[in-house]
A and B are shown apart, each in its own frame.
Chain A
Amino acid sequence: MSYRPSELRLQREAARHRASRRSTLIAVGSTLLIGIVLTVGITGAPGFDRVRQSFFSAHYARTSFPHVLSGLWLNLRVMVIAEIFVLIFGLLIALARTSKSPVLYPVRLLATFYTDTFRGLPLLLVLYLVGFGVAGLQISWIPNSAVILGTISLILTYTAYVAEVIRAGIEAVNPAQRMAARALGLSQVQTQLHVVLPQALRKVTPPLLNDLVSLQKDSGLISVLGAIDAIRAAGIETAQSFNFTPYVVAGALFVLLTIPLTRFTDWLTRKQDRARVQQGQW
């Protein structure tokens, strides 16, 4: 016998359809309203024309673009190199802090002191201390370049954050997993490597990527040491023209640079959430 939807079902579906059409209409309406309020509010401001000329000038955007872009190439290299070192050092510090080996006791002590200090210190201060202080020591084998010292400052600051994120991941792995691995005869190190770390890193990938996005944009701060990155290049252009458009150009480029990673992070988080819902872990 073929199925014929009941009157009740048809009514139910019609009601659902009406409700969904209604929410679409409301969403469109409220978007339009906010758009109009913002446009009128900003364009109607008394100084709007002057702001538009000094921040959104098409002419200055065109002329400064090549300089800012070549500055951004420096940011790109700095962030990639910093990210690699941050992940390696962060992992090592997290492992040291979660290990119980007596040999590593002094390392654990130092690591705790380090993460406490560098999570509290503003990055700008670290840049000054390393960029000017360390350079001032005039030790011959320490490079005196703003780019290198700036990158080291970024690595110092972000390693502290990343180490804490990874440590949280390691501690979130169920102790029964470690016990099961040891019961199979796996050593401490094998257990960490094959059982604990793979699960820990999976758990903390979204917050880890979030820290990397933050590092990417903070790579612009090395400009305070005099490295000619995108922000510094924009500053040089602005000093010549007294027009701030180059900064807006630099800002837009930074956002473009971080969007792929932020989208990827969102996608990954959603995927993990879905997997958890399917496993009934809510």
Chain B
Amino acid sequence: MAIPILEIRELRKSYGQELVLQDVSVTLAEHQVKVLIGASGSGKSTLLRCINLLEGIDDGQIVLDGRDITAIGTNADEVRSHVGSVFQSFNLFPHLTVLANITLAPRRVHGVSRKEAEEQALALLARFSLEDKAYQYPDLLSGGQQQRVAILRAVINRPKILLLDEVTSALDPILIAEVLALIAELKGEGMTMMIATHEMGFAEQVADQVLFLHKGLICESGSPSALLEDPQTRECKAFLDALRKAGRL
């Protein structure tokens, strides 16, 4: 196996009395895509939020590109500038145009000149047929367009890893397809990704490995086809059966 970009070692996290992650260990190699599945409240989002340091952890370690980012005294801003994050609710900045949204971090965090940042952003938008939206405000875009812009905003700095937290959950099926196409294309380019999703079909399509989380534990993991078609644990079977009944699988 190639050198790991991300190594999570026995991560433990609780909110008050409630244990949300129980000694979770995950390793992610460069260009690898791992997909987290599991019911709401199983700890998928918390795990992602620990990786970009939006949440503090109780015990364990997270090593990003050979460096322990959970060590005391770590500069969180610096770590986050190498980690791309996209959320369920887009969170584009409504007072900035699409172009200004995408160029904000390159200009302010990475010290790229305005001209250069805008050229890069426009090229990126053009590749995903969004160039005509560059000077519009996010309010005027469809949900799918907004989420695609949010993803481009997260990848323009070439992060070491991209975290996607239920990025299609707020969208209708047709808009979901355009967002998933963009993510599939990023995978084709070798982007290392950790994805929390409810879209099983998509998990099957992009995942190198699927991890099933249940009550803060990685209950089962495996290749997408193996895990989705022949789950070994009772919890995973129950979860997939429930999805099947709801017509989501």
Q: Which residues of A are at the interface with B, using a C-beta cutoff of 8 A? A: 176-177, 179-187, 190, 194-195, 198-199, 202, 279
Question: Given contacts A176-B91, A190-B108, is CB(A184)–CB(B139) below 8 Å?
Answer: no
Are the CB atoms of B87 and A176 closer together than 8 Å? yes
Select B93's contact among A180, A185, A190, beta carbons within 8 Å.
A180
Are the CB atoms of A177 and B54 closer together than 8 Å? no
Q: Which residues of B are at the interface with A, using a C-beta cutoff of 8 A? A: 52, 54, 77-78, 80-83, 85, 87, 89, 91-95, 104-105, 108-110, 139, 153-154, 157
Known pairs A183-B85, A184-B109, A186-B77. 6 more at Cβ < 8 A?
A: A176-B87, A179-B87, A180-B92, A185-B78, A195-B104, A202-B95
Select A194's contact among B108, B110, B153, beta carbons within 8 Å.
B108
Tell me the smallest distance from the CB of A202 to a CB of chain B, in Å: 6
Quick one: closest A residue to B106, CB to CB? A184
Are the CB atoms of B77 and A187 closer together than 8 Å? yes
Question: Given contacts A190-B108, A194-B104, A199-B95, is CB(A184)–CB(B87) below 8 Å?
Answer: no
Among B80, B153, B157, residue most surrounded by chain A Cβ atoms (within 10 Å): B80
| List of A residues within 8 angstroms of B54 by Cβ | 179, 182-183
Q: How far is the CA of A10 from the CA of B48 in the complex (A)?
A: 61
> What would be 19 A-B contacts, judged by CB atoms less than 8 Å apart?
A177-B91, A177-B93, A180-B91, A180-B93, A183-B83, A183-B85, A184-B80, A184-B105, A185-B77, A185-B78, A185-B80, A185-B82, A185-B105, A186-B77, A187-B77, A194-B104, A194-B108, A199-B93, A199-B94
Select A180's contact among B82, B87, B108, B157, beta carbons within 8 Å.
B87
Q: How far is the CA of A184 from the CA of B77 in the complex (A)?
A: 8
Number of A-B contacts (CB under 8 A): 59
Are the CB atoms of B91 and A179 closer together than 8 Å? yes
Q: How far is the CA of A187 from the CA of B75 in the complex (A)?
A: 10
Question: Given contacts A176-B89, A180-B87, is CB(A186)–CB(B139) below 8 Å?
Answer: no
Quick one: closest B residue to A279, CB to CB? B139
Quick one: closest A residue to B109, CB to CB? A185
Q: How far is the CA of A279 from the CA of B83 in the complex (A)?
A: 32
Q: How far is the CA of A145 from the CA of B83 in the complex (A)?
A: 59
| List of B residues within 8 angstroms of A181 by Cβ | 93, 104
Tell me the smallest distance from the CB of B55 to a CB of chain A, in Å: 11
Are the CB atoms of B91 and A186 closer together than 8 Å? no
Q: How far is the CA of A199 from the CA of B91 in the complex (A)?
A: 13
Tell me the smallest distance from the CB of A19 to a CB of chain B, in Å: 35
Are the CB atoms of A186 and B104 closer together than 8 Å? yes
Question: Given contacts A176-B89, A179-B54, is CB(A184)–CB(B104) below 8 Å?
Answer: yes
Q: How far is the CA of A194 from the CA of B93 in the complex (A)?
A: 10
Tell me the smallest distance from the CB of B29 to a CB of chain A, in Å: 23
Select A186's contact among B85, B95, B108, beta carbons within 8 Å.
B108
Tell me the smallest distance from the CB of A176 to a CB of chain B, in Å: 5
Are the CB atoms of B80 and A182 closer together than 8 Å? yes
Are the CB atoms of A183 and B52 closer together than 8 Å? yes
Q: How far is the CA of A182 from the CA of B82 in the complex (A)?
A: 12
Select A185's contact among B81, B91, B94, beta carbons within 8 Å.
B81
Select B80's contact among A183, A198, A199, beta carbons within 8 Å.
A183
Q: How far is the CA of A166 from the CA of B97 in the complex (A)?
A: 24
Quick one: closest B residue to A278, CB to CB? B139
| List of A residues within 8 angstroms of B154 by Cβ | 184
In order of increasing CB-CB distance, the 6 nearest A-B pairs are: A185-B81, A180-B91, A184-B105, A183-B85, A185-B109, A185-B80
Among A177, A180, A183, A194, residue most surrounded by chain B Cβ atoms (within 10 Å): A183
Tell me the smallest distance from the CB of B205 to a CB of chain A, in Å: 26
Quick one: closest B residue to A183, CB to CB? B85
Question: Given contacts A183-B52, A186-B105, A186-B108, is CB(A195)–CB(B93) below 8 Å?
Answer: yes
